[in-house]
Amino acid sequence: MKIKELRDMSSEQLQQMLREARDSLFRLRLQSRMEKLDAPSELRKNKKMIAQILTLFGERARKTASS
């Protein structure tokens, strides 16, 4: 998902996506320890998604603090 699409989402939607991405990352890490992953790039994609969402929360917090 692109950052522009994430910026258009509400905070509640972002919270839900963050929860899902963290759960998915947890499952992928667990699976990588037990067996070989089919798509190791999924780990990187989930980490990137989490970082983008957290960055948006930081931007929104700074924006409201400066207003």
CATH for 32:
1.10.287
Q: pLDDT tens for residues 30-59?
A: 999 999 888 999 999 999 999 999 999 999
- Please indicate, yes or no, whether the overall pTM of this predicted structure exceeds 0.85: yes
Distance CA 16, CA 4 (A): 17
Task: Report the domain count for the chain.
Answer: 1
- Residue 25: which H helix or E strand, with range? helix 11-34
Q: pLDDT tens for residues 3-12?
A: 899 999 999 9
**Do residues 57 and 14 lie in contact, with contact meaning Cβ atoms separated by under 8 Å?**
yes
Residue 67 has pLDDT above 80, yes or no: no
